[in-house]
């Protein structure tokens, strides 16, 4: 059975009272915030205000209208807002050392491939290994560090092989193949000959 007070509030909303009429009613009722005797009266007043705002078009063209709400299908994580902030802001380097080192370990080949000198590769690997050893002492707390250290010589050899494969792939993509005689490309020979004839 419907509540008579709620029905009356809906009826008032359907009458589409203008803001001037609402202001005049407020002046007749007295200045200050309205007072309600029961919770149902408060709900009815809120429903009335919402219906009036809908009729005035205040809820039209809101951002995100017609789009699904994010995060409804995920698990109830109490730290969801922290995770969303990290994703939206693109923050990095704020994870515990164990997590950060694990992520660096996974992306090590790609990180090393961005470096162009062997000395830089060795320096990066030495720095990573020293940070792993420091984190294993648990001086900063957090989860245990299970990330392995890297064998510098083996990683440098793998870096050299990947780099050689990329350069061969680039040469083949350009359509020039090494000469069978001395192992240099025609472009390299002509560049060397030009430098020699110019006296450089």
What would the pLDDT profile of 101-142 be if each residue is shown by its tens digit?
Answer: 888 999 999 999 999 999 999 999 999 999 999 888 876 667
Residue whose entry in the numeric block shows the structure tokens 């020039």: 176
User: Is the separation of the CB atoms in 105 and 71 below 8 Å?
Assistant: no
For residue 180, what pLDDT band results from cuts at 50, 70 and 90?
very low
For residue 11, what pLDDT band results from cuts at 50, 70 and 90?
confident
Distance from C-alpha of 55 to C-alpha of 93, rounded to nearest angstrom: 49
In 3-state terms, what secondary structure has residue 36? coil
Residues listed for the chain: 200
User: Is the separation of the CB atoms in 92 and 138 below 8 Å?
Assistant: no
What's the pLDDT at 20?
A: 46
């Amino acid at each position: 059975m419907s509540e008579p007070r709620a029905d009356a509030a809906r009826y008032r909303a359907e009458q589409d009272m203008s803001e001037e009429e609402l202001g005049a009613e407020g002046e007749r009722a007295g200045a200050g915030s309205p007072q309600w005797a029961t919770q149902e009266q408060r709900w009815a007043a809120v429903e009335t205000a919402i219906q009036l705002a809908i009729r005035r078009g205040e809820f039209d063209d809101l951002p995100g209208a017609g789009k699904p709400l994010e995060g409804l299908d995920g698990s109830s994580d109490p730290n969801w807002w922290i995770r969303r902030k990290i994703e939206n802001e693109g923050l990095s380097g704020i994870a515990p050392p164990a997590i950060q080192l694990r992520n660096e370990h996974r992306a090590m080949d790609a990180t090393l491939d961005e470096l162009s000198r062997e000395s830089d590769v060795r320096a990066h690997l030495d720095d990573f290994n020293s940070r792993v050893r420091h984190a294993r002492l648990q001086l900063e707390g957090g989860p245990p560090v299970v990330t392995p250290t890297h064998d510098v010589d083996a990683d440098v050899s793998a870096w050299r092989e990947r780099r050689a494969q990329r350069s061969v792939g680039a040469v083949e993509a350009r359509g020039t193949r090494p000469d069978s005689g001395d192992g240099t490309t025609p472009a390299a020979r002509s560049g060397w000959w030009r430098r020699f004839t110019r006296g450089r």
